[in-house]
Amino acid sequence: MRTQVGIIGAGPAGLLLSHLLHLRGIESVVLEARSRGEIESTIRAGVLEQGTMDLLNEAGLGARMQAEGAVHHGFELAFEGQRRRIALTELTGHSITVYAQHEVIKDLVAARVAAYGALKFGVTDVSLHNFDDAPGSTRPSVRYRHEGFEHELECDFIIGCDGSQGVARGSMPQAVRHDYQRIYPFGWFGILVEAPPSAHELIYARHDRGFALISTRSPNVQRMYFQCDPKDSVDAWSDDRIWSELHARVDTLDGWQITEGRIFQKNIVGMRSFVSTPMQAGKLFLAGDAAHIVPPTGAKGMNLAVSDVRVLTAALQAFYEEGASDKLDRYTETALKRVWRAEHFSWWMTRMLHKLDDTSPFEQRLQVAELEHVTTSRAAATALAENYVGSVAV
């Protein structure tokens, strides 16, 4: 089997890249280890930046997002028993939309199916070959097993969008690969709650007991998180204990309280910052979580994947339409400008809002002073808002 671009992974990066290439007349095949049902039902957060929303709309993928997503023109920072608003639209002219990642994936899969795109689920034993541009080498290829048979996909380029544990990053030449990582000594305990929203916008709370986040999934389902030990057990947290902890961290002195409801899902997620560079080797390119991970505090994960795809799409279009490879050659350099900016913002938000094991009482008061600054200084609030909505030029 032959195609122009072989894409490993049917997450947001792989599916969006395939669709954008299709709109430009470039063929692709997407290979995914999981089933369609699995990728469409894995619930993950989804805060979409203005640029992500614009790209989805321009690609004809935004109808359901506009109908069902919640547009937010700000969010709130809670600390010292009070809530203060960061007015995103007023400060930047842009907004964000809360629309879960698995809903974006549903839209992307539907678009690829409607366009008769080559999308293969349940693929196993994937290996990448001949992508190193060595003299005399044949075309790059991907070998895999699907529905009991072995296959080989020949292509011009291989794009690894298969996440942090996928085969693509592991195939990068070790001699040139450099990994940068920060593992945080805490995790997030997440719950899904059957209840009306506690607030109209997201709430990020800093408390001496630890961080908390109040978010929403729909008018009847809310997503809430609180900082915990990553080695903790879900079974150790009864519903009553969870609500007691969230009330202690988020309720304000004026009598406002979060809204309780039936908890129907609990999980614990670890936290880390990670960048692998370069993001390309010969005809192999990495995008999304295959190349970088950010803690979710800055709401950048899916948006960074979309940013990578935007850069790759333009580079591949220039190659096929003009025979120009300069944008492909500069892919790592171009993408990493945005990646490191988002990594810093996510680290900064995490450091400002979480209880750190090595934080002294002095440093705890510095956290509060910093929150006072970003919520009372228009310049500081604007810098935060620009990073949050993704309007900082890179």
The CATH number of the domain where 131 resides is what? 3.50.50.60
Does residue 200 sit in the same domain as residue 125? no
80 assigned to some structural domain: no
Does residue 261 sit in the same domain as residue 210? yes
13 assigned to some structural domain: yes
Based on the residue annotation, tell me whether 72 is a catalytic residue of this protein: yes
Does residue 64 sit in the same domain as residue 146? yes
394 assigned to some structural domain: no
Based on the residue annotation, tell me whether 120 is a catalytic residue of this protein: no
Based on the residue annotation, tell me whether 200 is a catalytic residue of this protein: no
Over 70: is that where the pLDDT of 135 sits?
no
The CATH number of the domain where 242 resides is what? 3.30.9.10
Report the number of distinct structural domains present in the chain. Answer: 2
- Catalytic residue from among 12, 296, 331, 354: 296
Does residue 159 sit in the same domain as residue 266? no
End-to-end Cα, the chain, rounded Å:
38
Does residue 306 sit in the same domain as residue 198? no
pLDDT tens digit sequence for 317-362 = 999 999 999 999 999 999 999 999 999 999 999 999 999 877 788 8
Q: Has this prediction a pTM greater than 0.85? A: yes
- Catalytic residue from among 94, 283, 300, 354: 300
- Catalytic residue from among 99, 204, 225, 331: 204
Quote the CA–CA distance of 8 and 163 in Å, as a whole number. 9
Does residue 361 have a cis bond before it (omega within 30 degrees)?
Answer: no
Does residue 189 sit in the same domain as residue 290? no
Does residue 233 sit in the same domain as residue 246? yes
Q: In which domain, by residue range, is 192 found? A: 185-271+355-389
Q: What are 17's two structure tokens?
A: 């890249």
Closest by CA position to 130, among listed 121, 118, 143: 143
Does residue 367 sit in the same domain as residue 309? no
pLDDT tens digit sequence for 49-97 = 999 999 999 999 999 999 999 999 999 999 999 999 999 999 999 999 9
- Catalytic residue from among 72, 207, 283, 354: 72
- Catalytic residue from among 99, 144, 225, 388: 388
HEC sequence for the chain? CECCEEEECCCHHHHHHHHHHHHCCCCEEEECCCCHHHHHHCCCCCEECHHHHHHHHHCCCCHHHHHHCEEECCEEEEECCEEEEECHHHHHCCCEEECCHHHHHHHHHHHHHHCCCEEECCCEEEEEECCCCCCCCCCCEEEEEECCEEEEEECCEEEECCCCCCHHHHCCCCCCCEEEEEEEEEEEEEEEEECCCCCCCCEEECCCCCCEEEEECCCCEEEEEEEECCCCCHHHCCHHHHHHHHHHHHCCCCCCCCCCCEEEEEEEEEEEEEEEECCEECCEEECHHHCEECCHHHCCHHHHHHHHHHHHHHHHHHHHHHCCCHHHHCHHHHHHHHHHHHHHHHHHHHHHHCCCCCCCHHHHHHHHHHHHHHHHCHHHHHHHHHHHHCCCCC
Quote the CA–CA distance of 156 and 324 in Å, as a whole number. 14
Is residue 262 a contact partner of residue 250, using CB atoms and an 8 Å limit? no
Does residue 104 sit in the same domain as residue 246? no
Does residue 169 sit in the same domain as residue 114? yes
Give the pLDDT of residue 185: 94
Does residue 287 sit in the same domain as residue 361? no
Say what percent of the chain tops pLDDT 90: 91
Does residue 319 sit in the same domain as residue 373? no
Give the pLDDT of residue 393: 43
Span of 41-45, 60-64, 160-164, 249-253 with lowest mean pLDDT? 41-45
Closest by CA position to 40, among listed 96, 94, 95, 121: 121
